[in-house]
Amino acid sequence: MYHQKTLAELAAMLEAGDVTSVELTQAFLDRIKQYDGELNSFITVTEAQALAHAKAADEKRAAGNAGPLTGIPIAHKDIFCTLDVKTTCGSKMLDNFDAPYNATVVEKLLAAGVVMLGKTNMDEFAMGSSNETSFYGPVKNPWNTNAVPGGSSGGSASCVAARLAPASTGTDTGGSIRQPASLCGITGLKPTYGRVSRYGMIAFASSLDQAGPMAHTAEDCAIMLNAMAGFDPRDSTSLDKAVPDYTADLNKPLAGLKIGLPREYFGEGLDAGVAGVVNTAIEQYRKMGAEIIDITLPNTHLAVPVYYVVAPAECSSNLSRFDGVRFGHRCDDPKDLEDMYKRSRGEGFGAEVKRRIMVGTYALSAGYYDAYYIKAQQLRRMISDDFSKAFEQVDVIMGPASPETAFNIGEKSDDPISMYLSDIYTIAVNLAGLPGISIPAGFSNNMPVGLQIIARHFDESRLLNVAHQYQQNTDWHKQSPDAFA
């Protein structure tokens, strides 16, 4: 029953010699073979490489050179470049792309001794909230395979929830770690912007994208973040700031903790069942000694419109490199250069990516740049200032991670606005560059509900401590879908 163990428990078993990395890796590879046909959570499974790395990890452990992650199998979201392994970003555009180098996140985790099981499915170029825009087909939610797992890190969330991997990497541009973590009943951490290198992480919106860990517990996320975080001179947005031991403060008591509840997160649009679960979780924090304080984030209603100007503008710029010239999809028999550009991009990109490129190009065009893009950046500052004022009163902010539980596949495919509103509680955190986490808090209509916790810049230790203490007093994070037990 290795698959029911947390990453921390598996690390202890490896350390004690109760299991080898090869045995552990094979057990998870067997589960992927058994169950992933139903879930579609993986795009690529790297079985031969995984077993070779597991053997090397066992040798390293036998030589006394092991760390906490040595020999632990994990999955990587297919947005991270992996040397000589297909890196698709969920798109036809990169269906034939084998990365010539490792992303810094992959590099750091390899150095820590992890074993890569494979690359997980995702919304195309991380654009989506349901994992339905992938060229490789939709990912299923293991709690109900008719439902979406959330997005864009839906493959990462689904495979962890189904116990096909003990942990995975994800990326969060507007909620793409926290929202699928909520919908799949796992723990997902979005670190402070700049805390984890973006080098080798295929860009969607450069001022918003941030990599983070997805696992069963806050403790597991802390262990992963210890390996993932740190300055990278190859990434101009990486911050040269010392990395603390994120596991050091996990067991600090919460007495005196001040929790802010934004009234804007508990109003119209929030499902009543989700609200009930979140309020019960907050009451649990009160019992643990925290003080609950009502606060306001008055510009919350601007977050979605601001995001859908800023993010498409940046994606329009970032995705201009996919032109069929150097790498990626190229159309057959182009008549001339212009024809190659048009048909390569037309064939390579899906509908949602095209929609966002068009919106972004429009917002950046002459005559509209000041009216849309500059105005959106001004409003972004106001949203950030709201958080700064709130953190003068409180230590952390809590609320729902998603306004609803997982919806059915296809339910919102023809309504992009409704889909965009799935991230209404998460987007502002990215606009402000803050760290946020979603942790399992219960169920509504038999589907998982996540509690979102937000902290000050670089206060991931507090965030993880607050999440861990809740998980020491509840068992929602231990629940797993019966069909994948």
Q: Are 348 and 93 in contact (CB under 8 A)?
A: yes
Query: How far apart (Å, rounded) are the C-alpha atoms in residues 37 and 41?
Result: 8
- Domain presence at residue 234: yes
The CATH number of residue 169's host domain is 3.90.1300.10
CA dihedral 262, 265, 266, 272 (to 10 degrees): -150
Condensed to tens digits (0 to 9), the pLDDT of residues 66-103 reads 999 999 999 999 999 999 999 999 999 999 999 999 99
Predicted confidence band of residue 143 (pLDDT cuts 50, 70, 90): very high
Backbone dihedral region for residue 209 (phi beyond 0: left; psi -120 to 50: alpha; all else: beta): beta
Whole-number Cα distances in Å, 298 to 208, 370, 382, 383, 428: 21, 24, 9, 8, 12
Instruction: Work out the angle between the directed axes of helices 104-111 and 218-228 (0-180°, nearest 10).
Output: 100
Tell whether the model's pLDDT for residue 418 goes beyond 90.
Answer: no
- Domain presence at residue 278: no
Tell whether the model's pLDDT for residue 422 goes beyond 90.
Answer: no
Q: Are 214 and 167 in contact (CB under 8 A)?
A: yes
Condensed to tens digits (0 to 9), the pLDDT of residues 186-206 reads 999 999 999 999 999 999 999
Condensed to tens digits (0 to 9), the pLDDT of residues 321-378 reads 999 999 999 999 999 999 999 999 999 999 999 999 999 999 999 889 999 999 999 9
What amino acid is encoded at 453 in this protein? I
Q: How many CB atoms lie within 10 A of CB 178?
A: 35
Phi and psi for 74 in degrees, rounded to 5?
-140, 175
Q: In what order do the strands lie in the sheet with 291-295?
A: 42-45, 115-120, 73-77, 167-172, 210-215, 187-190, 436-444, 447-455, 396-400, 258-262, 291-295
pLDDT of residue 318: 96
Whole-number Cα distances in Å, 164 to 4, 118, 312, 432, 485: 10, 11, 33, 33, 10
Tell whether the model's pLDDT for residue 415 goes beyond 90.
Answer: no
What amino acid is encoded at 263 in this protein? R
Which structure tokens are listed for 393?
A: 């009163």
| Helical residues (DSSP H) of 217-302, grouped into ranges | 218-228, 272-287
Query: How far apart (Å, rounded) are the C-alpha atoms in residues 437 and 426?
Result: 10
For residue 88, what are the β-bridge partners? none
- Domain presence at residue 356: no
Give percent above pLDDT 70 in the chain: 100
Tell whether the model's pLDDT for residue 121 goes beyond 90.
Answer: yes
Predicted confidence band of residue 233 (pLDDT cuts 50, 70, 90): very high
Predicted confidence band of residue 1 (pLDDT cuts 50, 70, 90): confident
Task: Using DSSP, state whether 213 is helix, strand or coil.
Answer: strand
- Domain presence at residue 359: no
pLDDT of residue 39: 98
Q: Are 310 and 207 in contact (CB under 8 A)?
A: yes
- Domain presence at residue 106: yes
Domain extent, residue 460, equals 2-257+406-412+435-484
The overall longest dimension of the chain from CA atoms, in Å, is 70
Query: How far apart (Å, rounded) are the C-alpha atoms in residues 293 and 295?
Result: 6
Q: Are 169 and 105 in contact (CB under 8 A)?
A: yes
Q: How many CB atoms lie within 10 A of CB 8?
A: 19
Tell whether the model's pLDDT for residue 485 goes beyond 90.
Answer: no
Predicted confidence band of residue 414 (pLDDT cuts 50, 70, 90): confident
- Domain presence at residue 350: no
Condensed to tens digits (0 to 9), the pLDDT of residues 244-262 reads 999 999 999 999 999 999 9
Q: Are 122 and 90 in contact (CB under 8 A)?
A: yes
Q: How many CB atoms lie within 10 A of CB 87?
A: 25
Q: Are 122 and 155 in contact (CB under 8 A)?
A: yes
Tell whether the model's pLDDT for residue 14 goes beyond 90.
Answer: yes
Predicted confidence band of residue 420 (pLDDT cuts 50, 70, 90): confident
Pairing label, strands 42-45, 115-120:
antiparallel
pLDDT of residue 419: 86
Which structure tokens are listed for 303?
A: 């977050």
Query: How far apart (Å, rounded) are the C-alpha atoms in residues 410 and 421?
Result: 16
- Domain presence at residue 71: yes
Query: How far apart (Å, rounded) are the C-alpha atoms in residues 288 and 393?
Result: 19
Which structure tokens are listed for 430?
A: 């990215």
Burial of 351 (0-12, 13-18, 19+ CB in 10 A): exposed
pLDDT (average), residues 143-169: 98
What amino acid is encoded at 42 in this protein? F
Query: How far apart (Å, rounded) are the C-alpha atoms in residues 289 and 279?
Result: 16
Whole-number Cα distances in Å, 368 to 255, 313, 361, 375: 51, 12, 10, 10
| Helical residues (DSSP H) of 259-404, grouped into ranges | 272-287, 303-318, 337-348, 351-364, 375-390
Round the average pLDDT of the chain to a whole number and report it.
Answer: 97
Pairing label, strands 447-455, 396-400:
antiparallel
The domain tally of the chain equals: 1
- Domain presence at residue 152: yes
Q: Say how far residue 284 (Cα) sits from the centre of its chain.
A: 26
Tell whether the model's pLDDT for residue 416 goes beyond 90.
Answer: no
Q: Are 174 and 307 in contact (CB under 8 A)?
A: yes
Condensed to tens digits (0 to 9), the pLDDT of residues 460-476 reads 999 999 999 999 999 99
Task: Using DSSP, state whether 254 is helix, strand or coil.
Answer: coil
Condensed to tens digits (0 to 9), the pLDDT of residues 294-320 reads 999 999 999 999 999 999 999 999 999
Active-site residue list: 77, 152, 176
